[in-house]
Structure 1
Amino acid sequence: MSDIVDTVLDDLVKLLKKDQIKLPSLPEVAMQVKEIAENKTSTVFQLNEAISGDPALSARLIQIVNSPLFRAAQDVKDLPMAISRLGITYSSNLAIGLAMEQMFKANNKMVEMRMRELWLLITQVSSWASVLAIHTKSIPPDEAMLAGLVHRIGALPVLTYAEMKSELIDHNGVLGRVIDRIHGPLGTAILERWDFTENLTQVPKLYRKIDRKIEKPDYAGIITLANLVNARHKNMGWGNVDWQTVPMFKTFGLPDDKEDILWEELADKVNEQSSWRM
């Protein structure tokens, strides 16, 4: 199987270099929101104008602010109120992440199913990253959430390639191994093209390095831990990792025991975020 994987990888890289498979572009509304967020003089009105152009996105933001996650004293009824409640930075990061969902679509039914499964996994990891950030007070939770939402973005060009090569869709194992091999560097290339901060651009190529030793918490580290905790009850992949070999648990001040009661307590908080994982 390794020969097939290498052949597919070589072909994919050649097509990417020839620009016959394009790296995905950030959705227009996300680009607008990102520009507004990066301008220190931006106002709630400007952000409201950008987000309100996408009614579905506006509705989701309002829904999230009214969820148990934020425990609002009174219902938020409109977008300006939602942005004011969350703040411009948090609202922007959340809007960018939510807008990315529209990228996970395909014409081929099998690829579409794979993309939906990928988006579900990404949002689960993202929720864990946000909750871990709140618990450890290590990283702003909205930025941890966004790091989770982009950490596997490099899989999209591979799935686009699979649509072009219908025979590859039938080789699920090959497709999975190709994604595993290349989505990290591809993800970093995509985020660099989108002009994201270095904290975020490094996440795709670093988060799978579970034995990484870091002096202080970083974005890639919290995504590593979020993947491990999310898969703690599984008997494959991330679920097979021996947590005591992962030094980042100590860096973040978290227990390296899968059965620690903390994980069920935090799981309840992750479930509170289910309103945006739709």
Structure 2
Amino acid sequence: MSTQNALLTILVEKINNDTLVLPTLPAIALKVRKAADDPDINLNAMGDVIGQDPSLTARIIKIANSAYLGRSVKVNSVNQAVTRIGLRQIKNIATALAMEQLFVSKNDLVSQYLRDEWGSTINVVANAMASLQAYVKATKNRELSLDTMTLAALIHNIGVLPILTEAERHEEVFGNPTFLNDAIDKVAGRIGGSIMREWGFGDNFAAICEHWQDLGYIPEKVGYIDFVRLGAALSGKMETQKDAIMNLAVQRGIVENISDLQSDEFAEMRDNAKLIFA
């Protein structure tokens, strides 16, 4: 059996037997999400939870002061930052900021793949966020939130993590990236859906992982998956489907003209979104 088939066979068998080791959400993200779901939580208490993690504290203050929220007056404490962002948004934003912790490995080969995947994911996130901002500005439709969009784009390809973990035992596959890419194409979506359900994120997030590359899956209403696809296409992913994704975006009223996605205004929104994760 070829290395490629061996890796795929192992992955599929573990998926079917429910024995594939799935990543766990970073501890601080779990604490924030649990606190946010407490009906009695207040802004000060949430600030105390976030304050337990100095790195997250610094990043929350940074995002509160960023163009992401469009504010010019600076805040300098976590409580001020949480007040500005709001309890509803802080749950997804804190989770998104903590996600980078998952893209690490002690294995040098895997570590490089994870860094590349994180960089690619951030490009998708930035383009998806900018696309949603442009859509809201043009349509005044505010049914979709930017914080949820950010998290949805970050998790869209999360299924790659267990694949790379399994590949650590078969280092020869790193000599031929085609092996890994084939495994990722075939099972990453299915694994990603399992991770979302394991984390309690629900079917909407699971569907994004499972179907973002499947243009046969088109929800009736415009949703986060539309912007994830558009973000992926603008980031250089899905090259063979790029034209179809762009045409679909126009048909569904996500953009009026493709040229809008090449404007200076769009580039500024995309670059501002990237700075959140810098």
TM-score by length of 1: 0.89
Across the aligned residues of Structure 1 and Structure 2, the Cα RMSD in angstroms comes to: 2.2
> 1:221-277 CA distances to partner (integer Å, 9 max, x unpaired)?
22111111222xxxxx523435246424421431463xx144333121110123222
Q: Match for 1:160: what amino acid? A: T
Contact 1:29–1:54 (CA under 8 A) maintained in structure 2: yes
CA distance in 1, matches of 2:230, 2:49: 34
> 1:147-177 CA distances to partner (integer Å, 9 max, x unpaired)?
0011111000001011122222222110111
Contact 2:129–2:273 (CA under 8 A) maintained in structure 1: no
Contact 1:129–1:148 (CA under 8 A) maintained in structure 2: yes
Highest relative contact order (Cα 8 Å, sep 6+), 1 or 2?
A: 2
Name the SS for the 2:189 alignment partner: helix
Runs of 4+ in 1 over 6 A off after TM superposition: none
Question: What residue is the counterpart of 1:234 in the other structure?
Answer: none
Change beyond 3 A, Cα 1:15–1:241: closer
Q: More deviation in 62-71 or 241-250?
A: 241-250
Question: Any gaps of 5 or more consecutive residues in structure 1?
Answer: 232-236
Contact 2:4–2:173 (CA under 8 A) maintained in structure 1: no
TM-score by length of 2: 0.89
> 1:183-207 CA distances to partner (integer Å, 9 max, x unpaired)?
1010000000101132212110111
Alpha-carbon shift at residue 140 of structure 1 (Å): 0.6
1:1-278 aligned at under 5 Å gives the runs 4-16=3-15, 21-137=20-136, 138-231=143-236, 237-244=237-244, 246-255=247-256, 257=258, 260-264=259-263, 265-278=265-278
CA distance in 2, matches of 1:67, 1:144: 17
Change beyond 3 A, Cα 1:113–1:153: same
Contact 1:44–1:80 (CA under 8 A) maintained in structure 2: yes
Aligned residues with identical type, % of pairs: 26
CA distance in 2, matches of 1:217, 1:176: 29
Q: Match for 1:274: what amino acid? A: K
Name the SS for the 2:168 alignment partner: helix
Alpha-carbon shift at residue 72 of structure 1 (Å): 2.3
Q: Match for 2:62: what amino acid? A: Q
> 1:9-68 CA distances to partner (integer Å, 9 max, x unpaired)?
111233456676411111111111112223343211222122111101110111122223
Contact 2:196–2:205 (CA under 8 A) maintained in structure 1: yes
Alpha-carbon shift at residue 211 of structure 1 (Å): 4.4
Q: Match for 2:270: what amino acid? A: V
